[in-house]
Amino acid sequence: MTVLQCTGLQAGYAKSAPCVRGLDLTVDAGEILALVGPNGAGKTTLLSTLAGLLPRLGGTVAVESDPLASGRPRDAVRAGLVLVPDDRALFRRLSTEQNLRLAIRGRGNRRAGVDRALQYFPALESRLRVAAGQLSGGEQQMLAIARALLQQPKILLIDELSMGLAPVVVESILPVLRQVAETDRTAVVLVEQHVRLALEIADRAIVLVHGEIALTDTGAALAADIGRVERAYLGVGASAGA
């Protein structure tokens, strides 16, 4: 089932020079989609626009066929689009537990919510009373993802999943994403600089170059022929696949 559909999406900072140009995209429930591409390709701009933080320059976005208004972050969250931004956007002076409780506000029992977050990321249990700003980079990313998951997203958008994190930390986060995709049927769209890592976890990947889809195929197919991805990055000889 399609949960997210974009048609002719134009995004960016000036109508005369969109960074994302006429993007058509669908994402299914339970699917993990990786967005990769060179610096400046428009990946962050795309996620910010989907999350309503940037107004669209054109095109449509729909969640489960319901059209989403442009530039309305609260509407986006209500519709089920939740972003983990690259700066994690935590309340740095509040404790881990307070950050979690804020995410649960209005969504049921707070203690149960904190417990659910700890099931995703048991490493946070001993850090509940620590200010978010004092957590390690990995713990901050876990907290940011846990907080997003407590908002019960239909589509979880994660910008720069592994940025600044040790591989062992990333390896502890990936199974959680797989679990929410498989068990809760949450769609996960992640922007990732580390291409091999992205292809390892993604059902499908898109190489975005100059705001357009230069290549798309299953993660497995692209991982098996990384040269296709490299050529797409360089803008040579790439053709859109399955």
Token couple for 16: 């005369």
Question: Could you tell me which stretch among 42-50, 94-102, 116-124, 131-139 binds ligand ATP (CB under 6 A)?
Answer: 42-50
- What's the maximum distance between 2 C-alpha atoms anywhere in the chain? 54
Report yes or no: 174 and 205 within 8 Å, Cβ to Cβ: no
Among 10, 26, 44, 218, binds ligand ATP (CB under 6 A): 44
Question: Could you tell me which stretch among 43-51, 167-175, 216-224, 226-234 binds ligand ATP (CB under 6 A)?
Answer: 43-51
**What's the CA angle centered on 87, arms 223 and 42, to 5 degrees?**
55
Residue 18 makes contact with ligand ATP by CB under 6 A: no
Minimal distance in Å, beta carbon 45 to ligand ATP? 3
Among 1, 13, 89, 220, binds ligand ATP (CB under 6 A): 13
Size of the site for ligand ATP (CB under 6 A): 10
Nearer to ligand ATP, 116 or 210 (CB): 210
Residue 55 makes contact with ligand ATP by CB under 6 A: no
CA distances 184 to 26, 103, 134, 156, 160, Å, are: 19, 18, 31, 12, 22
Rounded Cα–Cα distance for residues 219 and 66 (Å): 28
- The contact pattern for ligand ATP, residues 22-41, with x = CB under 6 A and - = no contact, is ---------------x-xxx
Selection from 167, 165, 163, 212 nearest residue 192 by Cα: 163
Which chain residues interact with ligand ATP by CB under 6 A? Answer: 13, 19, 37, 39-45
